[in-house]
Structure 1
């Protein structure tokens, strides 16, 4: 063994530790008995007395070792030496006293009547003392050569004391000091650890005497605990909060309060059942290409496609990392289902690349989910937003038409309806282009899917609010009356797949998502689901504050799903509606595309905005956004 193994009892073989303890206790029997005679007779050489019989020592030793083994004192853990262990040693010492009396009586061996009593007491003191000395020596050696992290325990109450006792057996952490706000406790020693003031922590951390602070005050409210954590975060060391032992035993922990909130819990409507046979039939045996396969919607489309048993799924993505992640995630289930999975790096604005993939992989269906969707980024990068969202859609749609594939489905958004931002406007232009391509007698059936905000997607309100709640707030909402329609990622993806199943050509599908949800109500619900309370005038001691930052330029209070509500017709699914909105003429679309090409070539941002004003109903170039929308979604 190396040095660390010899100095660390935790890694010694169990048989070795038991043998050492048993040998030490067995040796203490004759030693303690000899000391008892010495104390009784008053001499250091009681063996010179003729009356003292070696047989007395021999019989007491043999029987004492047998009883020692039977009472299993050698099984007591050294690191767990507590009152229970002391009581077990006391019981054995009393047994030795009775044994010494019995040996003297039955074998008629000389021993003063007080010797057995002294013998039991001396053995007890020796056994306890030797364990304490060995434990102290090992602790000091571990401190000198070990790597246990020194920690301060914030809270010198019952929970802190329990934690310190547990850490003494830990091979990772070593309690150095208690700190407590109660001045009456300052300076006292608890289990060998001093209780200090909270203001000592900074010096201890900077000097390296502690590397971590453990908060052990389970009686604190969540708000109090988070405020204390924020205060301690200024220390140059790590800060952690420890649940009570009662919470641990019951399976509860304040950390559990920070669990991810399921989007289904936030919907203020019944979850829409979109699991219908038509979906699987429409994609079974087909080669399906998903653009933007690494995004929130694209990746969910790919996951649900596996259940539809297509012959091939083509992942088309411009982000190398996103493509790697979705390919790695789907590969096992695709192989198990016997579905070919093809990962292709490429951009939707690269026509030769799109054509090559369609031809090589014999694509039957395209689900076009690739788009720049984050409102503030597209607002300040309108040229690239238009290039990707508008011209990219045109490129893929025309490639699908020319290849005479079976179906093409565009993923759109409710922000395309009378948009007040560039992102929504580009999606409306993309819809107009798809309508135009369908109107020119294409064999391919083109359709569009328009839905509201997707809970849990990248950049959406759910992860944003969760981060703010985790930090202790505030949760930021732009206006108290801002409302949005919401759906879950699975609902959004299923709606896209249903569009392909129901498509007749030139269709626009929307999901009946019930009533719009107030963003501030969503924030309150998420705070409640995290076992927090809202801090406001009515509840000044609450945990999380909601702050209203004011509407940003171009931001809507309300979103719409349709330009013309009168155009709605029903589909075989009661929650899926079809709209036939009027588009632009072929000449208007061709002129719009030429103007966009010219503006992009000259990098004329103002010209791009004027084109949008001319062709997109409801958009004004004077509106310019510089920050995320109220709900944080695209």
Structure 2
């Protein structure tokens, strides 16, 4: 019955809703006058006189214009704030005072006497009827025993002022229906906060089933990162979507907005501690300098560009071989506070690289251009060698000859004792950069060549995270090569910040290692992403689950466990707690120049097997010496 009434009211045009509200108020005020006389004389049917009929009819004539003036008919009843009671009290107070003046004038004309208690009864009863009817309608429309068919029941995790503000914002936007609040404080359990019942999180499984909740929104900006991670972990397996909102202090207008609700990102479950970037390191290497980023349209390269333009460089050169990727990042950075110069070209094209560096007066190079997808590079070894090794040699050589002051190679954890072509080419690239640093030191130049080595970046091109997201959105299955594989992960923003700060710490010839935390089991990563999306994992223990995880088998060149980036006994601390410096003195004796000639001959002859032999053989020859470094 209530659902039918609510549905009927909601489908009425706004005009007719106001007409019904005005008619109800007029009738309620007439009833209030009758009830006032009944209470005064303690009888159900007080004597009806001409004066009393006139006063009853005059009451709504006086009050309705006042109600209109004070906005009682502008408010949407469904979203009526609790503070509206003060407007109702004010409106009834003014209407009662004017009604008393009319009564006084009638008494002066000899039209009868109104008992002094009647106006007080009229004010109290009128306020109760006008205000009570509106808040009763609000309960029926907003809370009631059910909700609109198009509404989605949700819980808000947290019972703070921010949570109530969020719940209030959700009333007027979208189709979310806030069932209640969840809070761990036992003092709040069973109580109402801002008109919403607070529940114990231990009862969440039963509450989700009882109310058909499909989503839980976290409003936990005041708790620690560890506690937040624990909360997310405790509710991620309940078969509901988990979303969050930004810290209220981050919002310009100081209020939660419904459109700022976002999905929980997988990096929030990695448990990585956050260290704010050092402004002195960033500003010292970036401000008022001409900087070039190779691979500027890639995931790491583009994030580096976004960071660089925030620090007011003199000029940023975007060097990219992919036309569309270059167009995208160039368009995104338009309006930056520095000059943006897009350059379309390959890092293997020496003349094009020299033209960009010399023509723009480049002072700093971040070399992010590379083929990074392990299976693809494994299947196209010669191209991987050409791009990752000889491309790096070309850019480093030109940078050296054009007296670029800082050169930074973006390397990979797969360069540590590599088992695949991609990792091996990255190791060669590190050795090439080290050789350039030694040459600069020999000639007494103040040029700094260094490499920054780190693991997987969440959301980067080729990362498993975007692939898992796509597969989950399609309803599964989620494919993993081996669930027992373990990988290191960090956010792309953190990686960019640490890369730039590492370059500011370089003395020349350094290999910097970014602290990556604990490795993540790929099977756990897939399960967590499925649960964060609001699904359950379908397996032998839960055959009716939502999304299945399929094991496809390891691909060529893949390791089960990515090794740590360094031997802790030989890792040197820097002034930044997330950046370590490898002891790379052992690799000074690698004859990289002669090795590159042999590798070039094999590639020129299109002899992949010979190229592989040189590629891995050279690294194997120096493997014992490298034990002192990694």
Relative to the length of structure 1, the TM-score reads: 0.56
Q: Which residue is 1:76 aligned to?
A: none
In structure 1, the partner of 2:477 is 474
Would you say the 8 A contact 1:382–1:422 is kept in 2? Answer: yes
- 3-state SS of the aligned residue for 2:511? strand
Q: How far 1:564 sits from its partner (Å)?
A: 4.1
Deviations along 1:455-482, one digit per CA (max 9) or x if unpaired, are: 0011211110011111111111222321
| Alpha carbons of structure 1 residues 380 and 399: separation in structure 2 relative to 1, 3 Å | same
State the distance in 2 between where 1:406 and 1:299 align: 22
Displacement of 1:327 after TM fit? 0.3
Contact 1:291 1:368 in 2 (8 A): yes
**Conserved in 1, the CA contact under 8 Å of 2:375 and 2:557?**
no
Q: Is the 8 A contact 2:378 2:557 kept in 1?
A: no
* Structure 2 partner of 1:393: 392
Cα distance change on mapping 1:588 and 1:161 into 2, 3 Å:
closer
Instruction: Summarize deviations over 1:511-563 as a string: whole Å, max 9, x none.
Output: 21211111111111111110111112222221111122222333211112435
What secondary structure is seen at the aligned counterpart in 1 of 2:433? helix
CA apart distance, 1:252: 10
Q: Does structure 2 retain, via aligned residues, the 8 Å contact 1:383–1:605?
A: yes
Contact 2:434 2:588 in 1 (8 A): no
Q: Are the equivalent residues in 1 in contact too, given 2:374–2:557 (CA < 8 A)?
A: no
Tell me the SS of whatever aligns to 2:407. strand
Task: Tell me the CA shift for residue 273 of structure 1.
Answer: 2.7
Question: CA separation in 2, counterparts of 1:272 and 1:461?
Answer: 25
Give, in whole Å, the separation in 2 of the partners of 1:608 and 1:488.
Answer: 34
Q: Equivalent residue for 2:358?
A: 359
**Correspondent of 2:533 among 527, 530, 534:** 530
Over residues 378-433 of structure 1, what are the superposed CA-to-partner deviations in whole Å (9 max), with x where a residue is unaligned? 11111110011001111111111111111000000001111111111110110011
Q: Which stretch shifts more, 445-454 or 578-587?
A: 578-587
Note if contact 2:483-2:523 (Cα within 8 Å) is conserved in structure 1: yes
The one-character-per-residue Cα deviations of 1:7-41 (angstroms, maximum 9, x if unpaired) are xxxxxxx9xxx9xxxxxxxxxxxxxxxxxxxxxxx
* 1:203-242 equivalent positions in 2, closer than 5 A: none
Q: Structure 2 stretches of 5 or more lacking a match? A: 1-12, 17-146, 152-210, 215-256, 624-630
Q: Distance in 2 between matches of 1:581 and 1:367?
A: 20
What is the aligned counterpart of 2:511 among 497, 508, 512? 508
Q: Contact between 1:260 and 1:466, CA under 8 Å: does it hold in 2?
A: no
1:266·1:526 contact (CA, 8 Å) conserved in 2? no
| CA shift in 2, pair 1:422/1:290, >3 Å | same
1:86-127 Cα shifts (integer Å, max 9, x gaps): xxxxxxxxxxxxxxxxxxxxxxxxxxxxxxxxxxxxxxxxxx
Matched, 1:422 2:421: yes
Change (3 A) 1:534 1:570: same
Checking the alignment, whether the CA contact within 8 Å between 1:484 and 1:519 is kept in structure 2 is: yes
Counterpart for residue 298 of structure 2: 295
Return the alpha-carbon distance in structure 1 between the equivalents of residues 501 and 279 of structure 2: 9
Give 1:318's match in structure 2, choosing from 304, 318, 321: 321
1:318 Cα offset (Å): 0.7
2:308 equivalent to 1:282? no
8 Å CA contact 2:599, 2:615 repeated in 1:
no
Q: TM-score, normalised by structure 2?
A: 0.56
The SS at the match of 2:334 is helix
Number of residues of Structure 1 aligned to a counterpart in Structure 2: 382
Gaps of 5+ in 1: 1-13, 19-157, 163-218, 223-250, 621-634
Q: Do the aligned residues in 2 keep the contact of 1:420 with 1:556 (CA within 8 Å)? A: yes
- 1:425–1:619 CA contact under 8 A, matched in 2: no
Is 1:450 the counterpart of 2:453? The answer is yes
Larger C-alpha radius of gyration, 1 or 2? 1
CA RMSD between the two structures: 3.4
Pick closer, same or farther for the CA change 1:503–1:555 going to 2, 3 Å.
same
Q: Which one of the candidate residues 593, 596, 605 is aligned to 2:596?
A: 593
User: Separation in 2 of the partners of 1:586 and 1:357?
Assistant: 32
Large movers: runs of 4+ above 3 Å: 158-162, 219-222, 582-587, 617-620
Shift of 1:277: 2.4
| Structure-2 change in CA distance of 1:540 and 1:159 (3 Å) | farther
- Match for residue 567 of structure 1 among 567, 570, 573: 570
